[in-house]
Every structure is written in structure tokens, then in C-alpha cells.
Amino acid sequence: MNFKKKLIAASIALASVSAFAEWDYYPVLDEHHGQVKLTTEYWYSGDEHSLAEFVEGRFTIVKGLEVSLKHLGYQFFDDPNDEAKENNGLTDITVGVKYSFNNIFSVFADAAIPTGSDDVSNETFSLSGGISWLLPISEQFGIGNEFKITRGFEHDDIKPGLVSTYGLEAYYSFKNGFTPFFGWAFTSQLTDTEYADGSEGGTTESNVSFWAGASYSVNPYLTFTLYEDIEYIGEAYLGGFIFNVSLNF
């Protein structure tokens, strides 16, 4: 089971973390341009720790239309109370498509595919779709926004309910390539999950995320990003540090 999923019911989707120079809240790249991103994530909650390495990529095929691959990687998990040392292995991947009508509005669809190892995968295929829009307050200051709906498909006689996520992120880009940012996202389950025994539940489940950090663009082709993320999942707390290197081409 994925480390994050240990802290909330399996019926709710959590992937609300974002960051400046990521892809969620902003328009696509120019036509025939792409990006490869190498990411390291460290998460902690009490005595439990998780370290994951990812390779991700995106490419704009024609003007406004982007395809992407996310979360291709490996997770290392440590719990001093678990002598079996489980939850190590390949992670699930996400493939996506996004279309930007202009420099403000975009629509997107993502498919989360349970390709990960048995101890890591959440074993659920899900589809997400939504809109994102950018509020350009000035040439250097802006606020990215996203709203999406996620639907998980039946697995192990469990039918997940619909989940909604709204998030925003504010940034300020200095001319020297340094860009501080901070963001907030709220994820909530809209409809009940149906379980094998006929019971239903989950509409009271929610997740709130806060993150802050900075990016530094060495040149148009190379960017470093580091940020901290804090998530509140019911009565549980989850913290993490995310570092990535983005290579543009």
C-alpha cells in the first residue's frame, strides 16, 4: 500500500501536491517543446518515512496540446515497527493530456494506472478531468488555479466515490530566475464509496494541503525546485520535502 494511502481511507484520492514549474496549474509549453523532470520526494509521519524517486515528462505535440507521463519511479519505505520491511517497489504511473485554449484557460484529463508493485500500488484505476486557469496579476506575479473531479473504478468489490479537488498557487518571478511560491489545495469526497458488505461511506473524508518553496532557473533549459508540503488528512498529519530538476528541450 502506498505510504500516503496509509493515512486515509482508500476511497479518497490525495494527489493534490503541486508546485511552481510543475504542470497542474499553468498553460502548456510552446509547440514542439518538452520537459523532463527528475524528482525526489521525502515524506514522514511519526516513525514512518518514505523516499521516492521519479522520472516524468511532457511534450506539446501541436500548438496547445500536451501529453504527459507522471510518477514513473520507485518508493523506499521505512517503519521501525514493521519487521517485514514492506511497501518498497515501483510506483503507479499517470498518463495525461492537456489542451490550453490560450495563456489563461486549459482543460485536462489524467488516467492513474495501477502499474506499481503489490506493496506500493493502490490497485485502483482512476480518471481525472478538470480545468485550470491562470490569473496574471502582473508580468512577474500570478495565481494558478485548478479544479478537477476524480473517479476511481471498482476493485476488490469496492466502488470508490467521486472526489473533487480545488487548489491555487501564487508565485512571483524575479528577473534573476528566482521564483518563490506558495499554494493550498482542498480535496473532498463527494459521493459515498460502496463496499463489498453493502455498506457505504466516505463523504466526510477530506484532505487539506499547504506548500511553499522556490524555483531557480539557471537558464531556459535548466530549473531547480525545492518545496515543503504539509497535509492534514482527518486527524492525521503528513509532511514532505520535494526536490526536482527540470530539463527543457
What are the pLDDT digits (tens) for 41-91? 998 888 788 899 999 999 999 999 999 999 999 988 776 666 556 678 898
Distances (CA, A) of 219 to 43, 123, 132, 249: 30, 40, 26, 12
Q: Which of 135, 134, 133, 131 is nearest to 149 (CA)?
A: 131
pLDDT at 16 over 60: no
Tens digit of each residue's pLDDT (9 = 90 or more) over 107-127? 999 999 999 888 888 888 999
pLDDT at 18 over 50: no
Write out the three cell numbers for 60. Answer: 506539446
* Superfamily of segment(s) 4-248: monomeric porin ompg (2.40.160.40)
What's the pLDDT at 158? 81
Arithmetic mean of pLDDT over the chain: 85
Mean pLDDT, residues 85-106? 90
pLDDT at 176 over 90: yes
**Which band of pLDDT confidence, cut at 50, 70 and 90, is reported for residue 23?**
low
In the chain, what are the helix, strand and coil shares in percent, each to the nearest 5?
0, 60, 35
What's the pLDDT at 10? 32
What's the pLDDT at 81? 64
pLDDT at 8 over 90: no
**Which band of pLDDT confidence, cut at 50, 70 and 90, is reported for residue 195?**
confident
What's the pLDDT at 136? 92
Mean pLDDT, residues 194-221? 85
Q: Which residue has the higher pLDDT, 121 or 92?
A: 92
pLDDT at 13 over 50: no
Sequence-distant (≥ 6) Cβ neighbours of residue 198 within 8 angstroms:
none
**Which band of pLDDT confidence, cut at 50, 70 and 90, is reported for residue 1?**
very low
Please provide residue 5's backbone torsions phi and psi, each rounded to the nearest 5 degrees.
Answer: -70, -15
Please provide residue 4's backbone torsions phi and psi, each rounded to the nearest 5 degrees.
Answer: -65, -35
Domain boundaries, given as residue ranges, for the chain: 4-248
What's the pLDDT at 161? 86
pLDDT at 184 over 70: yes
